[in-house]
Structure 1
Amino acid sequence: MLPCRPSASSSPRPEPPRPGHPRRYRVNVSQSAAGAATGGPGRAPADQVAVRRANLVRVLGVVRSAGPLSRAAAARHAGLTRATVSSLVAELIGRGLLRETGFQQDGTVGRPGRRLEIDGRAVSALGLEVNSRYLAAWSTDLAGRTRHERRVVHDATREGAERTIRALAGIAAELLGEARAAGVRTAGIGVAVPGPVDTDGGTVRAAPNLGWRDVPAARLLRELLGLPDGTTVAVDNEANLAALAECGRAGAGAADLVYVTGEEGIGAGIVVNGGLLRGAGGFSGELGHLQVDPAGGTCACGRTGCLETKVGLTAAIRIAAPDLAAGGAASRDPRELAGELLRRATEGDPRALAGLDEIGRWLGIGLAVPVNLLNPEVIVLGGYFAAVAPYLLPAAMRELRERAVAGDAAVSRVTGSALGFSAAVRGAAGVIVEEVFADPTRLMPAVTGDG
């Protein structure tokens, strides 16, 4: 399936195919480009570039979704002439985005044509993640193949913003250097952080579990890495990026989805009709800071009884494995702690089972909010929730069914993430990949030609 969109206002999703008809893709072409197509006076040069760029996107999207396929088949899917597609394909091959491989018989007559498929081996996207307990990096080529992966334990709360971003830049510099040595260009860097972000400026507005406020993460990374102005550094909330990664995952995506992080902090990434729902200021999804127990404990945000104080990883360790809390759990990788919780539950440890059941009850109370407010098709549980989902979901679903105002028909499917703790960092890299597919000409100077 095609990936989800970074926001609800992005390019439209492809039209579904009709029986017996090839899939066709809708591409937004500006009015000026449309004017050029009809011979608008005095505007042809710029508008021809816009039309060609839109057609490059169209052909690249067809091959990405339906390939491998021949040039003739690509022309039919895209609704363009064979001559135009041949010119566009030549440019996309030159940019390292497509390649020809093998032969494919197109119909019952004529010579077989070379098959087109996504290449992208010489272009990579780098995803970075800041968590209160670790730093992570993941790079991929444009065909979705993993190039490099790093993960290091790091106490971002204790180290503070400056040291943490320096450490993150060190990891990024290592992977960027390895890519350059292999002759691979990095198209940009996506960064996942646990808190509301001003995505236009790349500033972390508030990250309670990190103790950060108004940290210009994008600017600091750009300066530390010495990146040229044309290189994207896109910073976003971890739940948003994880939601995009889950929504775009083949076989598991849904047009209406809520992703719930299960780490030190609890947040939600909301996908509606295939696009992120960010809210008016871009700060939606703070599910973990909804009050569920007025008599509860104090949250890292300073409020009382937030959902995070009941189901965050620190609460889970305290309730289901208190000996780990006394043994320095804060310095361990959350993935290890999730594995230990799962091991104890699997072995029938009474304390672990009772604790996870209690956490599941509170989780169900929290999930009732997006179910009643948004009616998503699926809720994906990430982080440690995914690891111990079999022991959380029975209590969570009981509570959720009791609280669904419209009854069982409104209860969403709830499932654990197949991407686990890597969803956010993969989503961060995915944002950069989508930028390339949205504008192939950003990789190198445009090639002139008829399009």
Structure 2
Amino acid sequence: MRPVPNGLADIPADQATVRRSNLSLVLRHLREHGPQSRSAVAAATGLNKTTVTSLVGELRARGLIRENGPQHAGAVGRPGLALTLDGTRVGALGLEINVDYIAAFATDLGGRVLIDRRVGFDAMGCDPERSLDELARVAREALAELGLLGIHVAGITVAVPGLIDGANGVVHVAPNLGWYGVPVAERLSWDVAPTIPVTVVNDANLAALAEFTSGVAAGTTDLVYLTGEVGVGGGIIAGGRLLGGADGFAGEVGHVMVDSAGERCGCGRTGCWETKVGLAALVRMVTPDHAYGVPDGIVRDPEERLAEIERRQAEGDPQVAAALAEVGRWLGLGSATLVRLFNPRVIVVGGYFARLAEHLLPRAQAELTRLGVTGTVAHCTFVASDLGFGAASRGAAGVVVDRVLADPTAIEILPPQMSTISGA
């Protein structure tokens, strides 16, 4: 008889909670510290050896760990088999939809990158239904690829530049996409993966998590991440935790008003920060004939737009130089407010900010120094992300991985023959 999916059906609720916690403890320990014997895991976690043996059996049955052996280093007596994180059959899929592209990033539990791609798509010029159709198509293709690799997808997280009702997977408002009350999670679940959990999270928050765990400022407990897209979002890590706010809407820095006499923003207000530093603002200043929202029948990936700007900058185009200086100045001006509010050690800039960092950040840092509070500014610097435009989709996959690590029972127990093979 095949075991029940979570293996905890006959255990009282309080004991089931303790067991889930202990399974997570062992799995996280192996992920963070690498291969270890049962005895070493027991000593490090404070669990007794009998409990560890039982937990290891279940984690093996779920295909999350395997045994390599034997382990000799520092051992006295008969060497034990080394337990190591497996997860090669468990995957996480992160998706992102933005103004001019859709990205997909997939990884297995051990961190092996399985899919990393971005496709051009004019979401700004399409209605929500058409955009969701394309998002679903990209998701289906990714799931098909993962299926051919024998990967069980534990979850899908979608990054969207807007205000999200995380509990229901509904996008309240995404001004630059023209989305209002769009049920993304429900639509993807219905069209793509009825059996796979789908969550929706703000893109900047996901990118901030990716930076915190694996970016240029990894481990920095107080940082601000700026997206550097058509819109400008912010993800805030404070004390090592993502700052969400009462409704999960913290970080909407792009819609802070900085110029009451400025341009009208996609949100309907005037003079928002992203009208000064968003990629749309730079493109409008440099290539007005190819500005966002100007219909010309060509779908341009942000990399293509940036390539043209870089070419003209290298040729000494004064219009480009002036535009970059202006964006750099406003980037520093707005960031000075963020430094006063959140006192970060680092402001990580992503997207096009990172691509053009050598032209934008010196001016931004100078403006930050001029306007900031002396003590806080002295310890805060701009840093260019090395995750490119894929930070949000990478962070989205990371959320799924963290969910599995927190609750390994989310992964079904394999049939006996499969679990035996995976533990061989």
Aligned to 2:61: 94
Q: Kindly state the Cα deviation for residue 311 of structure 1 after the two structures are TM-superposed.
A: 0.8
Counterpart of 1:46, as a letter, is A
Q: 1:390 to 1:378 in 2, by over 3 A?
A: same
Q: 1:379 to 1:52 in 2, by over 3 A?
A: same
From 129, 141, 144, the equivalent of 1:162 is 129
Aligned equivalents of 1:316 and 1:352: distance in 2?
Answer: 9
Matches within 5 A, 1:139-158: 139-158=106-125
Q: 1:292 to 1:170 in 2, by over 3 A?
A: same
Task: Tell me, yes or no, if structure 1 residue 59 matches structure 2 residue 26.
Answer: yes
Aligned to 1:444: 412
Aligned to 2:252: 286
Aligned equivalents of 1:264 and 1:288: distance in 2?
Answer: 10
Instruction: Give CA-to-partner distance per residue, 1:276-334, whole Å, 9 cap, x none.
Output: 11111111111111111111111111111111111111111223455654895973101
Q: Kindly state the Cα deviation for residue 224 of structure 1 after the two structures are TM-superposed.
A: 1.0
Task: Tell me, yes or no, if structure 1 residue 358 matches structure 2 residue 320.
Answer: no
Aligned to 2:206: 241
Q: Kindly state the Cα deviation for residue 76 of structure 1 after the two structures are TM-superposed.
A: 1.6
Give secondary structure in 1 for the equivalent of 2:307: helix
Counterpart of 1:159, as a letter, is C
Select between 117-126 and 333-342 the one with higher mean Cα deviation.
333-342
Q: Kindly state the Cα deviation for residue 347 of structure 1 after the two structures are TM-superposed.
A: 5.1
Task: Tell me, yes or no, if structure 1 residue 397 matches structure 2 residue 362.
Answer: no
Structure 1 length normalisation: TM-score? 0.84
Aligned equivalents of 2:211 and 2:298: distance in 1?
Answer: 28
Aligned to 2:272: 306
Aligned equivalents of 2:408 and 2:148: distance in 1?
Answer: 23
Instruction: Give CA-to-partner distance per residue, 1:34-59, whole Å, 9 cap, x none.
Output: xxxxxxxxx98332222211111111
Aligned equivalents of 1:298 and 1:330: distance in 2?
Answer: 24
Give secondary structure in 2 for the equivalent of 1:248: helix
Aligned to 2:85: 118
Contact 1:371 1:410 in 2 (8 A): no
From 18, 37, 49, the equivalent of 1:70 is 37
Contact 1:268 1:286 in 2 (8 A): yes
Q: Could you tell me which runs of 5 or more consecutive residues in structure 2 were left unpaired when the two chains were aligned.
A: 1-9, 416-424
Equivalences, count: 403
Aligned equivalents of 1:443 and 1:405: distance in 2?
Answer: 49
Instruction: Quote the sequence identity (%).
Output: 52
Aligned to 1:317: 283
Aligned equivalents of 1:299 and 1:273: distance in 2?
Answer: 32
Q: Kindly state the Cα deviation for residue 407 of structure 1 after the two structures are TM-superposed.
A: 3.7
Matches within 5 A, 1:15-414: 45-228=12-195, 231-249=196-214, 252-253=217-218, 254-322=220-288, 324-325=290-291, 331-346=299-314, 348-407=316-375, 409=377, 411-414=379-382
Q: Could you tell me which runs of 5 or more consecutive residues in structure 1 were left unpaired when the two chains were aligned.
A: 1-42
Give secondary structure in 2 for the equivalent of 1:158: coil
Aligned to 1:31: none
Contact 2:340 2:376 in 1 (8 A): no
Select between 191-200 and 174-183 the one with higher mean Cα deviation.
174-183
Contact 2:343 2:376 in 1 (8 A): no
Contact 2:61 2:413 in 1 (8 A): no
Q: 1:310 to 1:330 in 2, by over 3 A?
A: farther
Instruction: Give CA-to-partner distance per residue, 1:49-75, whole Å, 9 cap, x none.
Output: 222111111111111111122222222
Task: Tell me, yes or no, if structure 1 residue 418 matches structure 2 residue 386.
Answer: yes
Give secondary structure in 1 for the equivalent of 2:228: coil
Aligned equivalents of 1:224 and 1:315: distance in 2?
Answer: 36
Aligned equivalents of 2:366 and 2:13: distance in 1?
Answer: 59
Give secondary structure in 1 for the equivalent of 2:334: helix
Aligned to 1:427: 395
Give secondary structure in 1 for the equivalent of 2:127: helix
Q: Kindly state the Cα deviation for residue 106 of structure 1 after the two structures are TM-superposed.
A: 4.3
Aligned equivalents of 2:379 and 2:249: distance in 1?
Answer: 25
**Relative contact order, higher structure (CA 8 A, sep 6+):** 2
Q: 1:336 to 1:114 in 2, by over 3 A?
A: farther
Counterpart of 1:49, as a letter, is A
Select between 73-82 and 119-128 the one with higher mean Cα deviation.
73-82
Select between 313-322 and 155-164 the one with higher mean Cα deviation.
313-322
